[in-house]
Amino acid sequence: MNLALFASGTGSNVKNIIDFFKKNETINIVLVVSNNSSAGALIHAKNNDIEQLAIDKAILNESIPICETLHELEVELVVLAGFLLKIPEKFISNFKGKIINLHPSLLPKFGGKGMYGNNVHKAVLGAKEKKTGITIHFVNENYDEGAIIDQFETALSNKDDLDTIVEKIKKLEKLYFPPTIERLIHKL
Ligand code: GAR
């Protein structure tokens, strides 16, 4: 099973996934894609001898060439690990049921356009939520609305601030995202 990881930023999740599957003989990360040519995610890929691809919004929106690249590499699952651009419908229909996303809240709360990274955590703080967490879900045409695969939560108190929420979410992501991908692959 070949996976492609898409990421836009520092790439801590890309690193976690690469490390988790490093010794796996059947699940291979064959490509890391980013819309940011200086993304940490691409550096993690390079350090692990994984092919890297920097794309821009126009290439993503064109969809067919990038889908062809993924098919040539026999990619069967596309994992959005902190990827902030919307996946176009053409792309989704080429990889039906084979694109998943990590979102740093308990969807359906705090999802949708503009809800990414710290924007999500600030909204969670502002709403005085008693808990937050992560959601791993299939990607459909609407931001953060695809079928939920799994969710993991963490308690919040009035002592929490942006830094502690980020830390709690990163902990959940490291602990649960890679094994959830593995469990899903075994079901596909
Ligand atoms: C992660 O917390 C991920 O859940 C979030 O971006 C961060 C990327 O961190 N994704 C979204 O907000 C998607 N809507 P990373 O670059 O260190 O993996």
In three-state form (DSSP H/G/I as H, E/B as E, the rest C), the secondary structure along 79-130 is: EECCCCCCCCHHHHHHCCCCEEEEECCCCCCCCCCCCCHHHHHHHHHHCCCC
Q: What is the pLDDT at residue 175?
A: 98
| Domains in the chain with CATH codes | 2-102+111-117+136-149+177-187 (3.40.50.170)
Residues 6+ apart with CB under 8 A from 96: none
Residue ranges around ligand 1 (CB below 6 Å): 7, 9-13, 81-82, 102-104, 116-117, 120, 169, 173
Set 44, 71, 103, 137: catalytic member = 103
User: What is the spatial distance between Cα 8 and Cα 37, in angstroms, rounded to a whole number?
Assistant: 9
Q: What is the pLDDT at residue 81?
A: 98
Q: What tokens does 75 get?
A: 């990619």
The CA 11 to ligand 1 mean position distance, Å, reads: 8
Alpha carbon of residue 163 to chain centroid = 21
Task: Please report, in tens digits, the pLDDT of each residue of the chain (188 residues total).
Answer: 999 999 999 999 999 999 999 999 999 999 999 999 999 999 999 999 999 999 999 999 999 999 999 999 999 999 999 999 999 999 999 999 999 999 999 999 999 999 999 999 999 999 999 999 999 999 999 999 999 999 999 999 999 999 999 999 999 999 999 999 999 999 98
Measuring CA to CA, how many Å separate 81 from each of 126, 129, 156?
25, 24, 24
Q: Which atom of ligand 1 is nearest to the CA of 11?
A: 16
User: What is the spatial distance between Cα 169 and Cα 125, in angstroms, rounded to a whole number?
Assistant: 13
Q: What is the pLDDT at residue 102?
A: 98
